[in-house]
Structure 1
Amino acid sequence: MPDGPPLADPVERALAAYLDGAADPAARTKRSAVRLAVAQAMRDGVLKDGDLLPPEKRLAEIFGVSVGTVQAALQQLQQRGEIVRRSGYGSRVALGDSFSSAIWHFRIVDRDSGRRLTVEAERIRIDEIAGGEMGNGDEGNGDEGSAAPDDPLAPVWSAFLGPDDSYVRIRRALTMSNGAAVAGRMVLRARTAPRLLEMAPEELHAVNIRSFLQDEFGVATARASTEVRGLCASDTPGPASGNAPAAPVLELRARAVAHDETPVYFQTVRVPSDSCAFAF
């Protein structure tokens, strides 16, 4: 917690306490620590839908960082759809059904209520796949957490992205606000985001990766084509990073391109069909 007099406001005290947890490990930047602290406050109900966040200057004092760092962290939360920022009005926690097609190709919603689900916990892995390691696996089977030669979708995403010397794969194991386990994967050419492999996975926690690619690497996505298919038990992979949906599942595949139609990334998301659905 930053040095200074004790914080009287309970929300401010909670935010400062969350920062202590978010600042570990040391690999996280100050921006990431602030972003994760605010996100955790929203997950725990300290900040509820529609609540006004403290002013940016005050947040900088609470967290012991610069106003610029706070603004960068809030921008990432805005890109994820977690908060709404308006000049002169401050930042508020977004309502549960907020949706922006300019940021998201799709959202994961509760199957019964149709309300947008938020991410309660996530684990991220980033690895490199050499161009000659993709293999020719069976598209319908295999282990989501296996090496590249056993990646069942390698022929699919490599055909879309095109031949290259190296690819980056981002795998996310998510726990949603209704308790559902979701497995996500994104693959892109390493030269599209050359520093991505050097970043700590924590830098992608509570981040909209589509916006992250644009802000950090100048890679703008113009549009994405999507398809959803149902998978039976025999098609469902084992746990990815220890947290993957149980069969049966819905699998979404997205192919994103830039304004000049150059492929940007191939993405898959698998959700349990008994509790989740996709909204477009």
Structure 2
Amino acid sequence: MSTTFTLDTSTSRAHPLPEPVRRLTVPAIQGRKKDGATAEPIVMLTAYTARMAQLLDPHCDMLLVGDSLGQVIYGLDTTVRVTLDMMVAHGAAVVRGSYRSVVVVDLPFGTYEASAEQAFATASHVLRETGAAAVKMEGGEVLAPTVEFLVKRGIPVVGHVGLTPQAVNALGGYGARGRSEAEALKIAADARAIADAGAFSLVIEGVMEPLARAITTEIACPTIGIGASPACDGQVLVVDDMLGMFERVPRFVRRFDDVAARVTAAAAGYAAAVRDRSFPGPAELYQPKAKG
């Protein structure tokens, strides 16, 4: 038994209660890939709130508290502006709202690049304050010593190569990476370095499909594709993109619903009911009891 939180969906309030927790573990995710192949692909989505985590948790193996929350939740123009406090607050909420999935929290830009020691201080703070199982960091060969430093000190790490949004200013945009032979060789080398440093999985984002396929075949840890290849050992999408909350999405996104249209229709229905005074109705009012 372990004390965690249950989410009372009737009131949207979390209550600390003893619950049997059978979360997937980092070794379980890593162990999905055997002899270079993954029989059961790893399912990963982003989550930023307790309620969304609760809804996604039964269907996912991993929940990523991505720094994409800067754009999705806060309306920022880039993930570079995301703060550590934002990541901790949302990471803790996702942990409270989930029971099964391995929760991974992005380390925001500027909180881990300076040194391995800085990365350890940031990562340990995130895991301690959120209860998450792992952190994710963007970067290649230059970051490999930092990944090794963290892993040796008990901090599980998910790597991230290819299109790395925190480096958008250096990359010059969000276009697909690995088009040139030189860039493809660099991304492959980055992937090998991060995997060899001990990352238990590796996100490959926005790269040419043959490159993602080749990396997946070559490295031992599971790869998680986003705009990469169906050959990757798993897939991840930003949940709001997948749900159809935005009109414009990257080419690699498939909308599995049109939630934006549903919200619009519901808001329009509510507004109409308020204006014609049909809401609130008798069933939604508190009336004094009739005296006997």
Q: Output the TM-score relative to the length of structure 1.
A: 0.29
Structure number with bigger Rg: 2
Q: Output the TM-score relative to the length of structure 2.
A: 0.28
Which gives a bigger RCO, structure 1 or 2 (Cα 8 Å, sep 6+)?
Answer: 1
